[in-house]
Amino acid sequence: MAEKSPEAFRTISEVASDLDVPQHVLRFWESKFSQIKPLKRGGGRRYYRPEDVELLRGVRTLLYHDGYTIKGVQKVFREQGARFIVETGRAGEGDTVAGLARGVVHGEAPLGQNTREDGEVPSPQFGQAALPEQDLSALLSLASRLEAFQRELVASRFTEDETEE
């Protein structure tokens, strides 16, 4: 089967597969977030525009990665807007500060510098010298502290959402 162009509309099964969520979850999100409006054709078939898919990707990131509740994401829609949610989805789940720090430590390049021309992943370097061992240790410690802070932040969002109900 030929690859669709990025501008092509997607069926619910294609979007569900791309986002790794069941189709019923996409339909549920449509009922909870009025900003998600796929085109509906005869027989109720849904066709998602590229903008819809980007928005869904952001919702998925907020719910599944950042630990937001449905009410929390609705609040983000109200206060930050759909554009913020799209950008959140584009940033992806691996682009947290802690994730980037761990990537540097484990030899993965920062954003935009994933591989060299020969296809190899460059080792982390500052100037001409490799990252000193004590800096690696400090960076790992910082990454652990950032991840702990992120867990606390997610937990506080859950309690904040529960008190609003």
DSSP 93: S
DSSP for 97-130, written as a single string: HHHHHHHHHTTPPPTT----TTSPPPPPEETTEE
Distance (Å, whole) CA 153 – CA 133 = 30
List, for residues 44-102, the tens digit of each pLDDT value: 899 999 999 999 999 998 898 888 899 999 999 999 889 888 888 887 655 554 445 54
Whole-number pLDDT of residue 112? 42
Distance (Å, whole) CA 129 – CA 100 = 20
Whole-number pLDDT of residue 110? 46
Between 9-18, 33-42, 84-93, the lowest mean confidence (pLDDT) is in: 84-93
Q: Which stretch of DSSP H or E encloses residue 40?
A: strand 39-40
Q: Which stretch of DSSP H or E encloses residue 48?
A: strand 46-48
List, for residues 105-138, the tens digit of each pLDDT value: 555 544 444 444 555 544 444 444 455 666 667 7
pTM of the model: 0.58
Residue whose entry in the numeric block shows the structure tokens 């993965």: 108
